[in-house]
Structure 1
Amino acid sequence: MELQVVEHRLTDGEALELEPVPRVVYDVNADGAAYSTGSRAIKGPKHVLSFELTPKASDSALLGTSLALPIDEQRLIRCDRVDFPPGGVAYLHTHQGPGIRVLLHGSIRIETGGRSHDYGPFEAWFEPGPEPVFAAGSADEPTAFVRCMVLPAHLKGQRSIRYVRDEDADKPKPQRYTVFVDELLPEDP
C-alpha cells in the first residue's frame, strides 16, 4: 500500500474526479479536511492536498511512500494541522505511526536519523513514526504544516506523540494542533 499526497490547484470552472480510495482532502483556503473512501468530485476554484492510500503511487504526487502495516491490526487515518509561533520547536519525539507532512507557510527544519533538512511552503516530507524527530519552525514568522498519519485504531481521539527525553515532556509546548479527521480505515484499504 502507498501513502501519497497530491496537490491540486483548480481554477474557476475546472473540475476533477478523484478515484475511490481511502483519502483525506485538505482544503488549503478553507483550512478544513474531509475523509472519504468513494470517488470524490472537486470543483474550482480550489487548492487542495489529497492524502491517499493507494495500491500504486501516482507520478503527480508531491510525495509517496510504501507502507508496510501489520495486517492483523485495525488502523485509523488522522489529518491535523500543527501551528508554531515564531521560534517554536517540537522537542525530540516519535509518533506511533507513519505520516506525510506538507508545509503550508513559514519554514521548518526537520532533524532525524542524523540528517537535517529545511522545508519551504508546499514541500512535503515523510516521517516513519518510530524514528526520533526534532522540528524547529521559522525564527521570525509563524509556521504551519498539515499532516496525515496512519495510526493504530486505539489512538482514536488520543495524541500519538511520545517524547524521547523525559525532561521534554514537561516543557511548555508552543505549537497548536487542530484535528480535522480521525477516522477508522476499512479493514482492507
Structure 2
Amino acid sequence: MHLHLFEDTLTDGQTVSFGETAGRAIYVTAGEVSLNGVVHPRDEGFVTDGPVTLVAGAEGASLWRWDLSEDAPVDAPHHSARKLSGEVPANLAAPGHFLRLDSVSFPPAGTAMLHTHQGPGIRCLREGGIRIDTGGSSAAFGPGGAWFESGPDPVFAQADHALESRFIRAMVLPDALRGKSSIHYVNAEDRAKPKSQTYRNFGEIGLNL
C-alpha cells in the first residue's frame, strides 16, 4: 500500500471524480470545492474514502490530495499531477488504523526537536521554509515542497528564521491515537521543554480496506 500526494487544478465550475481508495485527504490551496453540497473553501481540509465527486467554485480550485491505495494511476487526468508517494507498511495499512489530515505551524526560528511518529505520512509546505534533518541527511523545502517521513526514523525540523512556516500533513496512525498527538521525543530532556509548533486537525477517518 502507498500514500500518494497529488496536486489538482480545476477550472471554474469543473466537476471531477476520484475513484476507490482506502483513505483520502484533501486540502484546498486556492478557490473552493463542494462535496455533496458542502462547500470547502481555501485553507480548509477534509477526509473521506471511496469514490468522490467534487465541483469547483466559480473561480476554480487548486487542491492537495492524498490517496492511500495499492497503486497510483498510470495516466493521471490532465488536471492532476503526482507530487510524491511513500510506502505504508502492511501492518499499518490494516484494520485498526486511520488517516489524519492536519497542519503544523511554526513561528520564526521554531523547531521540532528530535522526534518520531507511530506511522508514515507525507508533508507539504504551505508557507515559509523548513529544513528537515533525518537519516544523516538534510533537505530544505519552500512553499509547495513535499517530503515523506516513515514514522520510526528520528527527525529534527528547523523552520525559517525570519518567517512563520506551516505544512499540511496526512499520516496513517493506529486507532489508539485518534484525537491525540502522534509525536514522541527521542531525548527525555526534550519532553518537558516548551514546544514551538502548533497544530490544527482537519479530520480523521478509519481505513476502508
Q: Compute the TM-score of the two structures, normalised by the length of structure 1.
A: 0.93
Displacement after TM superposition at 1:58 (Å) = 3.9
User: Scaled by the length of structure 2, what TM-score is found?
Assistant: 0.84
Q: Does residue 1:34 correspond to 2:46, yes or no?
A: yes
What's the counterpart of residue 80 of structure 1?
102
Tell me which stretches of 4 or more aligned residues in structure 1 moved more than 4 Å: none
Deviations 1:77-127 (A, max 9, x none): 111000101111100000010000000011100000000000111111000
Q: Partner of 2:170 in structure 1?
A: 148
Query: How far, CA to CA, are the matches of 2:73 and 2:27 in structure 1?
Result: 18
Q: Is the 8 A contact 1:156 1:183 kept in 2?
A: no
**Residue 78 of structure 2 is aligned to residue 56 of structure 1:** no
**For the residues of structure 2 that align with 1:96 and 1:74, how far apart are their CA atoms?**
13
Give the CA RMSD over aligned residues.
1.5
1:42 alignment partner AA? L
Q: More deviation in 57-66 or 112-121?
A: 57-66
Is the contact made by 1:78 and 1:148 (CA closer than 8 Å) also made in structure 2?
A: yes
Letter in 1 for 2:71: K
Q: Would the alpha carbon gap of residues 142 and 72 (structure 1) be closer, same or farther in structure 2, given more than 3 Å must change?
A: closer
Aligned partners of 1:47 and 1:72: how far apart in 2?
A: 30
In the TM superposition, 1:1-189 aligns within 5 A as 1-21=1-21, 22-29=23-30, 30-44=42-56, 45-58=60-73, 60-70=81-91, 74-186=96-208, 188=209
The SS at the match of 2:82 is coil
Displacement after TM superposition at 1:2 (Å): 1.2
Letter in 2 for 1:93: H
Query: Which residues of structure 2 form unaligned runs of 5+?
Result: 31-41, 75-80
- Percent of residue pairs bearing the same amino acid type: 40
Q: Match of 1:154, SS?
A: helix
Bigger strand share:
2
